[in-house]
Structure 1
Amino acid sequence: MSSTVNYRIDPLTKENWDTWKLQAQAILIKSGLWKFVNGTEKYPHSFPVLKEKFNADGTLERKKARLVARGFTQRPNVDFAETYAPVAKLSSIRLLLGIAAEKGLMVSQMDVITAYLNGDLDEDVYMAIPENLKQYLQEIVVEESQNETVFEKARKALNDLRNGDKEKVCHLKKAIYGLRQAGRQWFKKLDSKLKEIGFNPSIADPCIYRSSTGGGEIIAVYVDDLIILTKDQAGYEKLKSILLKCFDMRDLGSLNYCLGIQFSCKNECVSANQSKYIDKLLEKYQMTDCKPIGTPMDPKTKLEKATDCDQQSYPYQNLIGALMYLSVATRPDISYTVSYLSQFNNSFGKEHWQAAKRVLKYLKGTKEMSLLYRKTSQPIVGYTDADWGSCTIDRRSYSGFCFIFAGSPICWAAKKQTTVALSTAEAEYAAIAESTKEALHLKQLSMDLDITQNKIVIHNDNQAAQHMAANPIISSKSKHVAIRINFVREVIERGDVELKYVSTDLMTADVLTKALAKPRHQELIANMGLTTDHS
């Protein structure tokens, strides 16, 4: 099989040549990345993509250059077979932060340099020679004469280009950025190397690895970022030396900034917040000087679908997308509001835009809010709730749940139910079923990481729903939800999950099912574990 690929371009000038040249050298010394063969047909040209990478404080970290393929020219099942490459779930990463706080582990970070260039291609992929490649190779040969490895690679490539009368093309031997299968090929290589050095992937999350040698080291993989948990500095240095033998990597030290999230590891606590991300949002939408407000949504707000949606007037969809990452990463307090507003992505108007801007006003006053994990010696505990028939458009209910470990949330959800519930008990039971599925995932992941968790307690505030799960009786009011009842009942009977009743006043997940007044909103997010204390 073969594939013809092309590249995007950011204009290559004398000013940015130095940036591209460094990347060209990196590509040359990646042994076997490409070889030149005679071309018999016209292949598209190829270009570098230039990019700047910034630190958490907004300062320039370094300039990057990439050869990025036009993967959309590849044909499924001809030029590639599989493209999916898993990454660690954010809930898994937050669980690791809780484990680090509970066990007093070090949390460090390493970054794989030009990660995708490590992946081996299973197919034959050809590309046109990058424009002006001969010129660039000549400059590298002249300027890098003292660097034997780079000099020899560049000289050989230059000779290969000059030999022969036919037009040459590149036969790729490694996966480069932009190829549809590049991410998967990189993960396959990383997965095989981690297994070779004694790390086993979790059944619940294949991107979480735990050492099988008894050292207790844990690695979370998010593309080319590795979050590493070790008992002490000596254990980290040993593991780092092993990883450096496998890949070209950078040691970023203690976990500080990753995936747009700021981390702090001090005083045996680990915190995570996105204040810099929020600052960028406020600046982008010209809300830097807005007046802060106490809640993300007015409890009286009832929006309807706009009939004359003008998508050019407001950047509503862009803002909701940006807020969605906040809501799933570090800010469960806006999860319900973002979920509610996202229903109107294709039918919004001025009132919807004003409701979305209110979230920014709320974030302006709470941008320092963090998830703070600390030692509590308590197991994972869950809360689940529902708001029956709350949607005025289709009368569906809202479910919400959160699971807390080490004093802070590790996973949460706020979503509209997929079917119409006929009673409050049915809506609550549907929420219990969703939270039970998440509890089973967390229990398996905890077992894989050697965390003792005999069963996970889930609190709910509806006794009728709890009786449905406990009693082996199907009544006329519940026979249509028998599958859910049987599933939850079976899990409870196995001892994986235990349901406990709490009063509505103590239901932490209430903030994930509806908009609340300021005092109640602040009370529940404090109970959940969100705090402005980063220490």
Structure 2
Amino acid sequence: MSSMGELTFFLGLQVQQKEDGIFISKDKYVAEILKKFDFATMKTASTPIETNKALVKDEEAEAVDVNLYRSMIGSLMYLTASRLDIMFAVCACARDSLFDLEAFFDSDYAGVSLDRKFTTGGCQFLGKRLISWQCKKQTIIANSTTEAEYLAAINCCGQVLWIQNQMLDYGFNFMNTKIYIDNERTICITKNLVFHSKTKHIEIRHYFIRDSYEKKLIQVIKIHTDHNVADLLTKAFDVSRFNFLIASVGLLNI
């Protein structure tokens, strides 16, 4: 940063360096998001939220654009990093869906044409909000579709356990997290602790997902391939399928 001169603006932060200290503000960022969401001419309020007035769903009003609303909340959440005074109001407005942790994963068996290795993908949601995602070409060649799906499940499980531990620090217990799977045999292997001959080629070290299932840290739930949003992270698609998947994970084109 020193090679570029004195720091004055960084990631939405305005920085002023004076003799009596360094002052940080987000005035420019606030002005930009007000203009972006057409709130620049709205009336101001003395407090961020009214007292003793619960936020309830208006059954008669026209439904809001969910993607636009989440975009607004996301912009405000970034603002709360330096604006403690609006933190409660923003978090209250962010409760637009169930606050549950759930995950999806998928794999593309032998999908890499050069060496026939496979790609795994996974995504994790808090409520309807996508908070984590992965896409990785694996270093081994799977001997079956089941093995490819099972190893994808392991990667997803590891991420879920990490998120669970992180959320415990904030007082949220997400044990027994739902993981959605579109491969029936992967579910059977995860649930059945009998070591079948058909799965002997899968290394023992990969069976920690069974242990997580036994401890009720996760659930494994069957989902149809058409509704598996992690599919987006494993292969290419035609326009209609691609648009469906990006809408499913909450991506907004702005």
Query: What TM-score do the two structures reach when normalised by structure 1?
Result: 0.34
Deviations 1:241-300 (A, max 9, x none): xxxxxxx5434248949xxxx99999785236xxxxxxxxxxxxxxxxxxxxxxxxxxxx
Q: Which residue of 2 aligns with 1:380?
A: 101
What CA distance in whole angstroms lies between the structure 2 residues aligned with 1:451 and 1:377?
13
Provide the secondary structure at the position in 2 that maps to 1:530: coil
What CA distance in whole angstroms lies between the structure 2 residues aligned with 1:526 and 1:374?
20
Provide the secondary structure at the position in 1 that maps to 2:114: coil
What CA distance in whole angstroms lies between the structure 2 residues aligned with 1:54 and 1:532?
30
What CA distance in whole angstroms lies between the structure 1 residues aligned with 2:225 and 2:251?
20
Q: Which residue of 2 aligns with 1:82?
A: none
What CA distance in whole angstroms lies between the structure 2 residues aligned with 1:431 and 1:407?
22
Q: Which residue of 1 aligns with 2:25?
A: 252
**Aligned 8 A contact 2:98 2:128 in 1:** no
Identify the match of residue 448 of structure 1 among 141, 158, 169: 169
The CA deviation at 1:455 is: 2.5
Q: Which residue of 1 aligns with 2:193?
A: 472
Instruction: Specify every segment of 5 or more residues in structure 2 that has no aligned partner in the other structure, as ranges.
Output: 40-68, 76-93
**Aligned 8 A contact 1:459 1:501 in 2:** yes
The CA deviation at 1:494 is: 0.9
The CA deviation at 1:418 is: 1.7
What CA distance in whole angstroms lies between the structure 1 residues aligned with 2:138 and 2:192?
24
Provide the secondary structure at the position in 2 that maps to 1:509: helix
The 5-angstrom pairing of residues 108-507 of structure 1 reads: 248-253=21-26, 256=29, 269-271=72-74, 375-507=96-228
Q: Which has the higher contact order (CA 8 A, sep 6+)?
A: 2
Deviations 1:290-339 (A, max 9, x none): xxxxxxxxxxxxxxxxxxxxxxxxxxxxxxxxxxxxxxxxxxxxxxxxxx
**Aligned 8 A contact 1:443 1:455 in 2:** no
Q: Which residue of 1 aligns with 2:88?
A: none
What CA distance in whole angstroms lies between the structure 1 residues aligned with 2:139 and 2:214?
26
What CA distance in whole angstroms lies between the structure 1 residues aligned with 2:135 and 2:16?
35
Q: Which residue of 1 aligns with 2:5?
A: 51
Going from structure 1 to structure 2, the CA distance change for 1:249 and 1:522 (only over 3 Å counts) comes to: same
Provide the secondary structure at the position in 2 that maps to 1:270: helix
Q: Which has the greater radius of gyration? A: 1
Aligned residue-pair number: 201
Q: Which amino acid aligns with 2:74?
A: S
Q: Which residue of 1 aligns with 2:229?
A: 508
**Aligned 8 A contact 2:105 2:152 in 1:** yes
Query: What TM-score do the two structures reach when normalised by structure 2?
Result: 0.68
What CA distance in whole angstroms lies between the structure 2 residues aligned with 1:429 and 1:112?
53
Identical amino acids, percent of aligned pairs: 25
Going from structure 1 to structure 2, the CA distance change for 1:462 and 1:249 (only over 3 Å counts) comes to: farther
**Aligned 8 A contact 2:102 2:127 in 1:** no
Q: Which amino acid aligns with 1:270?
A: I
Tell me the C-alpha RMSD between the 2 structures.
3.5
What CA distance in whole angstroms lies between the structure 1 residues aligned with 2:171 and 2:26?
25
Q: Which amino acid aligns with 1:433?
A: I
Going from structure 1 to structure 2, the CA distance change for 1:112 and 1:51 (only over 3 Å counts) comes to: closer
> Structure 1 runs of 4+ off > 6 angstroms?
109-114, 262-268
